[in-house]
Amino acid sequence: MGTRYSIKCWSDDPTIKTETLQADVDKLLDEINQQMSTYRPESELSRFNAAPAGEWFAVSAETAFVTERALHFYRLTNGASDVTVGPLVKLWDFGPGRHSVGARVNAPSAELLAKTKSLTGGEHLEVRLDPPALYKTIDSLEVDLSSIAKGYAVDAVADLLAADGLVNYMIEIGGEVRAAGVRQDGKPWRIGTEAPDPKRRGIHRIIALQDQSLATSGDYRNFRVIDDNKVSHIINPKTGRPLPYRGWSVTLLAPTCLEADALATALLVMGEEVGYNWCKEHDVAALFLIRRGKEIVEIATPKFQEMTSKAE
């Protein structure tokens, strides 16, 4: 997944061994990579991306489940969450092997943008859970589950720990977090959310997390410069263009990390007003950090205020 993981846990059960747990977690994460990584050419997802359209491609139950969830959020967000935008990410010079952060690049022509955008779209993807398989209606369709697979991996590790008898733990993979139970001192787990500042890394807010998941998405770390204007790495699937650099972030709380992971980026795509209203309509707990001049303004949805007040 190109990132690190961290697990903090405790138990009074002397039969639970850290070494055994770590070996089990490493094995599980390697299996998920083998299923869903786009960095491994032999993974299930890479082989599906290379396969022709028009026929069902057999995959594991896990890959089918995550893809089904991705399509669910594609429909729920009216296309703001789309796992098929990979060609557009590459077109705008983001992704592996591209220029460094802050590099000056040229915008693609309108014709090339339209052609590339036609290669994307969740409506060209189908999933079957039993027997598990994926199907695409155009040969060029590429699925990249990175916006949701880390969250799924956190949930899978949580299931593994729970099956081993652990009830108090905090799991973090690449910034996506899930916590259960409490710390050894009996207090809730506490997570620091980063201030959306590209020049430094600092904690903006501490959130108490108990039996919840948390994910944050921001547009302030990875950007390019086009015609003297900064653009972020986050692509708007509807326009095919990167979001303008705004110095924003969205932190989302949800029962599962998969859900938090999927929706955090979608809310950035929606924007402040539409995203906030969507959260109110769907009872979603989100914290928007909006940069206005030199100030960072917090906008918390009612559900976020409710969930954080309970955990404090």
Q: What is the pLDDT of residue 105?
A: 81
CA dihedral 74→75→76→80, nearest 10 degrees, is: 40
Q: CA angle, 41 as apex, 219 and 70 as ends, to 5°?
A: 45
Q: What is the pLDDT of residues 84-106, one digit of tens each?
A: 998 998 888 876 666 666 678 88
Q: What is the pLDDT of residue 276?
A: 97
Q: What is the pLDDT of residue 193?
A: 85
Q: What is the pLDDT of residue 208?
A: 93
Mean of all residue pLDDT scores within the chain: 91
For the ranges 130-139, 197-206, 288-297, the lowest mean pLDDT is seen at 197-206
Looking at the chain, the whole-number percentage of residues with pLDDT higher than 90 is 71
Q: What are phi and psi of 130, to 5 degrees?
A: -145, 110
pLDDT exceeds 60 at position 311? no
**Cβ distance 243 to 268 under 8 Å?**
yes
Question: What 8-state DSSP symbol labels residue 111?
Answer: H
Helix H or strand E encompassing 250: strand 249-254
Position 55, amino acid: E
pLDDT exceeds 80 at position 312? no
Give residue for tokens 């969450």. 81
pLDDT exceeds 90 at position 143? yes
Looking at the chain, the whole-number percentage of residues with pLDDT higher than 70 is 94
Q: What are phi and psi of 152, to 5 degrees?
A: -60, -40
Give residue for tokens 């557009």. 88
Q: What is the pLDDT of residue 26?
A: 96
Mean pLDDT of 57-70: 98
Write the Ramachandran bin of 286: left for phi over 0, alpha for psi from -120 to 50, otherwise beta: beta
Mean pLDDT of 20-36: 96
Across 86-209, the runs of DSSP E, i.e. the strands, are 125-129, 132-136, 169-173, 176-180, 189-194, 203-209
Mean pLDDT of 158-173: 96
Q: What is the pLDDT of residue 102?
A: 66
pLDDT exceeds 90 at position 222? no
Instruction: Report the SS3 class of residue 273.
Output: helix
pLDDT exceeds 80 at position 77? yes
**Cβ distance 94 to 86 under 8 Å?**
no
Tokens standing for residue 310: 């309970």
